[in-house]
Structure 1
Amino acid sequence: MRMTDEIKKLIGTLNPIPIATCDCEADEERKSSVNLIFVTFLKVYDDETLLIANNKFYKTMRNLNKNPNVSIALYNPDNNRSFQLKGKASVYLEGEIFEETVQWVQSGRPNINPQAAVLVHIEKIYSKAKRLVEQNGELTFVRGII
């Protein structure tokens, strides 16, 4: 799903940003739970993808290795708009994407050594109970689509 310009701009202004993953460990009732963290290194990679630097993920990384689903919450206090982005993560421990991530992080914080790069391909976007869809080449929010 292609992100709107508003969403891409908002991501560039927020820090930290909350992301949620599904906890891969079942509780005593055999139900999974959500793990929610704040990330400080998250940026738009392309129109449909976000890049997250794994600097200190523990549960999150373990979760992503078993379940790639990610949910990201955004809030713009200037216009009281909020968005939920849902997607699937791919983890990179080496290679070009990982090296790009290391350079990006260390350009601002040379003392941090990322452990992995995480690309999140956005599949669904919601705002106020409406889902973002593409219709005739245009992005629009529609109520009633899950």
Structure 2
Amino acid sequence: MAQMTERMQELFNAVHTVILSTATPDGTPNAVPVGAKKIIDSETILISDQFFNKSLTNMQSNPQVAVTFWEGREGYQLKGTITIETSGQRFEETSQWIQEMSEKAGFPLKSKGAAIFKIKEIYGVSPGPGAGKQLA
């Protein structure tokens, strides 16, 4: 497992939206913006599923995903595997979190699942000679 540094975690928390990239088993890509995300620990991220369609189908048949985030000229791509939880304590906590988020936003949201992303590799996506370099 790869671990995000404190700086990577700060940036992940600071950006409102990350890009979740999935693929079908035969390699057809799909990328979607995600705002309901949080860090569980330095090697695990939780993403709530409110609107996943193709992404959910892809993750169920091919759990290899990437999450990319950036601000200005600093950015990172995390690669790893994902599992979907639709019951249990973590799902219940996610549902409550999304319900609270929904009330604050004044927009109806309901979590259909907690996507648990285990980070295996981290790459830099900042422009310059280090772009694409594996960091962890």
Please indicate the TM-score interval, normalised by the length of the shorter structure.
0.7 to 0.9
Q: How does 1:49-88 map to 2 (within 5 A)?
A: 49-77=44-72, 80-88=73-81
Amino acid at match of 1:91: I
What is the SS of the residue equivalent to 2:92? helix
RMSD of aligned C-alpha atoms? 1.2
Give the paired residue count: 125
Match of 2:121 among 99, 120, 124: 124
What is the SS of the residue equivalent to 1:113? coil
Distance 1:35 1:116 in 2: 19
Match of 1:101 among 94, 98, 114: 94
Unpaired stretches in structure 1, ≥5 consecutive residues = 25-30, 134-146
Distance 2:16 2:120 in 1: 22
Distance 2:78 2:47 in 1: 14
What is the SS of the residue equivalent to 2:4? coil
TM-score in terms of structure 2 length: 0.87
TM-score in terms of structure 1 length: 0.81
Q: Which has the higher strand share?
A: 1
What's the counterpart of residue 127 of structure 2? none
Match of 1:114 among 98, 102, 111: 111
Distance 2:101 2:81 in 1: 27
| Structure (1 or 2) with the larger CA radius of gyration | 1
Would you identify which runs of 4 or more consecutive aligned residues in structure 1 move more than 2 Å?
none
Unpaired stretches in structure 2, ≥5 consecutive residues = 125-130
Distance 2:22 2:27 in 1: 11
